[in-house]
Amino acid sequence: MHKLLRNRKLHLGGTTLALLVLPFVTDLLFGRGWVRIEDFALLYIMLALGLNIVVGFAGLLDLGYVAFFAVGAYTYALLASPQLGLHLPFWIILPAGALLAGFFGALLGAPTLKLRGDYLAIVTLGFGEIIRIFLNNLNAPVNITNGAQGISQVDAMRIGDFSLGRNQELFGFAIPSVHLHYYLFLLFTLLVIFVTARLQDSRIGRAWVAIREDEVAAEAMGINTRNIKLLAFVMGASFGGISGGLFAGFQGFVSPESFSLMESIMILCMVVLGGMGNIAGVVLGGIILVVLPEVFRNGAGPLQQWLFGKVFIDPESMRMLMFGVALIVVMLWRPAGLWPSTRRQRELEATGDAAEQDTVYDSGR
């Protein structure tokens, strides 16, 4: 037991250190562009974890999830840019974006409560498109979203004079802006993981899974399926809203084309490819689907040049080709995802107080 505990601490320490130095190492080895990719990976992990609550836990197939990302991003962009002349601080806007996204989650959830499977997928798909098209067209008669041109000059996130939009000097170290964003996103990602992990192993989490497994039986056992499903939609949506706000502050620019159906599908792929319902799997799915395409984008050209002395296939098309092949292979060989959810093999709490400690919970397994 003691040895186990020490190991756990060692693991935790090692992981923390690795996560902290990651942007610097990446910067040194591969260049700053890759730190930016890591930032995006973190944003997508948050999105994937949010969608995982809806799809992975509660089993409600949502094909319009990117709408909540858009709501969060536009909330941020509208409240902190010259577009409406507002410049609110980000620690007000982010929660506001999460709340608004949550509200939209309920708005989507309420009319679709009786729909299942394919039918729900079609309605959510429509919802995602409606939001995007609204954003695209809300420039007339009153210009709110600036239409297809999007909103630019969005304020960077800042606390007092400390802006994440500029490179900063800390303890004599120069820390670039992308690195600063990395740390902020990492913090939020860990928060989202914590919330998801705790919910998963709770009365609410069990109710979600019960609905996924058999909605009629769940109802008959006394679960108020309406409330519990709405809760899943709202929770999932609010994660999307947070991620969207962070995205807007990081990019400094938002436009409707970032929120296409393809994005929803990518996020869904992260959940499914990684392992639906398993937090670690979903995180892995997010990393793979952000990083691998970039590897192809940057690597496929030079590799062909080196192998054949000529670029045969355009790296951009190569990227989508490989992505498609990878999806098919994974779904054929590991239909439950790369890192599927093995139900917790928790010991019966026969040993009494020993079971009180938090360590019985292990999201990694």
Q: Which is nearer to another protein, 88 or 217 (CB)?
A: 217
The single residue listed with the structure tokens 């190492």 is 25
Tokens matching residue 352: 């009494």
Q: Which stretch binds another protein (CB under 8 A): 73-81, 112-120, 129-137, 209-217?
A: 209-217
Q: How many residues bind another protein (CB under 8 A)?
A: 36
Q: Which residue from 257, 314, 316, 356 is in contact with another protein, where contact means CB under 8 A?
A: 356
Q: Which is nearer to another protein, 47 or 231 (CB)?
A: 231
User: CB under 8 Å to 82, separation ≥6 — which residues?
Assistant: 153
CA-based torsion, 258, 264, 270, 276: positive or negative: positive
Q: Which residue from 61, 206, 297, 363 is in contact with another protein, where contact means CB under 8 A?
A: 206
Q: Does residue 257 touch another protein according to CB under 8 A?
A: no
User: CB under 8 Å to 201, separation ≥6 — which residues?
Assistant: 344, 361
Q: Does residue 343 touch another protein according to CB under 8 A?
A: yes
Q: Does residue 358 touch another protein according to CB under 8 A?
A: yes
Q: Which residue from 92, 190, 217, 262 is in contact with another protein, where contact means CB under 8 A?
A: 217
Q: Which is nearer to another protein, 29 or 351 (CB)?
A: 351
Q: Which is nearer to another protein, 213 or 316 (CB)?
A: 213
Please name the residue ranges forming H helices in 31-89: 32-51, 66-79
Q: Are 295 and 37 in contact (CB under 8 A)?
A: no
Q: Does residue 117 touch another protein according to CB under 8 A?
A: no
Q: How far is the CB of 241 from another protein (least distance, A)?
A: 16
Q: Does residue 202 touch another protein according to CB under 8 A?
A: yes
Relative to beta strand 86-87, strand 80-81 is antiparallel
Q: Does residue 166 touch another protein according to CB under 8 A?
A: no
CA-nearest of 195, 294, 236, 329 to 48 is 236
Instruction: Compute CA distances 170 → 83, 86, 123, 175, whole Å.
Output: 33, 30, 49, 7
Binding site for another protein (CB under 8 A): 195, 198-199, 202-207, 209-210, 213-214, 216-225, 231, 235, 343-350, 355-356, 358
